[in-house]
Amino acid sequence: MTAFSAPSDHRSLLTPRPGSRGRKIRSVVASGLITLAFFVALVPLVAVVLYVIQQGADQLNWAFLTDPIPIDRAFGPGMGPAVAGTLLITGAASMMAIPLGVLGGIYLNEYGGRGVLARVIRFLAEVMTGVPSVVMGLFIYTFVVLQTKEPNAFAGALALACLMMPIVIRTTDEMLRLVPGELREGSYALGSRKSRTIRTVVLPSAAPGIISGALLAVARAAGETAPLIFTIGIVSETNWSLFNGPNTALSAQIYRNALSPFPGAQERAWGAALTLILIVFIFTVLARLVTAFFSRRQTA
């Protein structure tokens, strides 16, 4: 008598249950569609970048980057004021937003912790990152331009700074959070005060992430159009002054010229678009390089 019950009825592994082939096919098709999704996203990216390069490459020369802007009807290079404006305004915005943002992030993570104020600020910072840039433009318009009665680069810089700051605050907050507590304790144990600990130990440790976040914020600001439309006015001659007189920027010029019926203006729009993309891409790639380079060093 065998002590064991009859073997369970089983099929060969090579003859799957009915429906198994269908399931396998569905899985393969799904994987195919999923892969397709990636290529669908690739199409606009490649299309836009290639087209901008194609249309704008001819425009790019030294004259284009420095000459004053001709009238719409004219052909010929000239986006100097816009290039200068973009650099000036984005630069000024960065100089306001980044220090304040980093300090704010330091407050949140190093001093605020879980306190009520810190939670409120964190929440509001997240809200602020969602505010449409056009609203920032309107805000600076009503708050600054209406009072000073004149558009200038500084107003534009303020608007961009309002856009950048919450991004920098949140990035700094998160990066500081990643710094292990033991680092801080080691510094305190040596007699260092909190501010010194932050300055000499915590910040350097979190620096790559913070710098990377700041660079990405700059890249985003450089491409913004709506906040500038309401705040800087327009010029055709380069204006390096922050406070005196209106200014212009690459993004604003592209917007203007996109709606222009004149091919000369449209050509310049493409050149400006290429210039703008190059600037934005450079900052984006720099941000990634910073992260990659420093994280490798830290784990080495």
Partner 1 sequence: MTMTEDTTANVALVTTGVETPIPQVSTPDESLPPEPPEEGRELVFQVRDLEVRYSGHTAVREVDLDIAANEITAFIGPSGCGKTTVLRVLNRMHDITPGAKVFGRVTYHGEDLYSSKVDSAEVRRRIGMVFQKPNPFPKTIFDNVAYGPKINGRKRSEMADIVEHALTRAALWDEVKDKLKHSGLSLSGGQQQRLCIARAIAVEPDVVLMDEPCSALDPIATARIEDLMEELKREFTIVIVTHNMQQAARVSDRTAFFTAEVDDEGRRVGRLVEFDVTEKLFTAPSDARTEGYITGRFG
Partner 2 sequence: MTTLAPPQPDALEPAPEPHGLRDGGRRRGVAGDHLFRWLALLGGLMVLVVLGLIAYSTTTKALPWFRKEGLGAVFSDNWDPAHHHFGALALVYGTFLVGALALLLAVPVSIGIALFVTEVAPRRLARPVIYIVDLLAAIPSVVYGLWAIFVLLDPLANLFSVVSSATADIPILKTLFANPSATGRSYMTAGIIVAIMITPIITSITREVFATTPASLKEAAYGLGSTKWEMIRGAVFPHSRGGVVSAVMIGLGRAIGETIAVALVIGASQNISLHLLGPGDTMASAIVLQFGEASGTYRSALIGLGVVLFALTILVGMAARGLVARVDRKTGAVA
Handedness of CA 192, 198, 203, 205 (dihedral sign): positive
Which residues inside 225-244 make contact with partner 2, applying CB under 8 A?
A: 225-226, 229-230
Partner interacting with residue 289 (select from partner 1, partner 2, none; CB below 5-8 Å by kind): none
Q: What is the dihedral of CA 76, 81, 82, 85, to 10 degrees?
A: 170
Binding region for partner 2 (CB under 8 A) out of 5-13, 27-35, 63-71, 237-245: 27-35
Q: Which is nearer to partner 1, 4 or 39 (CB)?
A: 4
CA separation for the pair 69, 79 (Å, rounded):
5
Q: Residue 242 CB, nearest distance to partner 2 (Å)?
A: 20
Which residues inside 24-53 make contact with partner 1, applying CB under 8 A?
A: 24
Q: Residue 217 CB, nearest distance to partner 2 (Å)?
A: 12
23 is a site residue for partner 1 (CB under 8 A):
yes
Binding letters toward partner 2, positions 54-93, x by CB under 8 A: -x--------------------------------------
18 is a site residue for partner 2 (CB under 8 A):
no
Binding letters toward partner 2, positions 157-196, x by CB under 8 A: -----x--xx--x-------xxxxx--xx--xx-x-xxxx
Partner interacting with residue 261 (select from partner 1, partner 2, none; CB below 5-8 Å by kind): none
Q: Residue 134 CB, nearest distance to partner 1 (Å)?
A: 40
AA identity, residue 89: I
68 is a site residue for partner 1 (CB under 8 A):
no
3-state DSSP of the chain = CCCCCCCCCCCCCCCCCCCHHHHHHHHHHHHHHHHHHHHHHHHHHHHHHHHHHHHHCCCCCHHHHHCCCCCCCCCCCCCHHHHHHHHHHHHHHHHHHHHHHHHHHHHHHHHHCCCHHHHHHHHHHHHHHCCCHHHHHHHHHHHHHHHHCCCCHHHHHHHHHHHHHHHHHHHHHHHHHCCCHHHHHHHHHCCCCHHHHHHHHHHHHHHHHHHHHHHHHHHHHHHCCHHHHCCCCCCCCCCCCCCCCCCCCHHHHHHHHHCCCCHHHHHHHHHHHHHHHHHHHHHHHHHHHHHHHHHHHHHC
102 is a site residue for partner 2 (CB under 8 A):
yes
Q: What is the dihedral of CA 20, 24, 30, 32, to 10 degrees?
A: -160
297 is a site residue for partner 1 (CB under 8 A):
no
Query: Can you tell me which of 74, 117, 150, 241 binds partner 2, judged by CB under 8 A?
Result: 117
In the block, tokens 């222009």 appear at 260
Q: Which is nearer to partner 2, 142 or 241 (CB)?
A: 142
20 is a site residue for partner 1 (CB under 8 A):
yes
Partner interacting with residue 19 (select from partner 2, partner 1, none; CB below 5-8 Å by kind): partner 1
Binding region for partner 1 (CB under 8 A) out of 14-22, 39-47, 156-164, 256-264: 14-22
Task: Give how many residues touch partner 2 by CB under 8 A.
Answer: 104
List residues near partner 1 by CB under 8 A.
2-5, 7-8, 10, 12-14, 16-20, 23-24
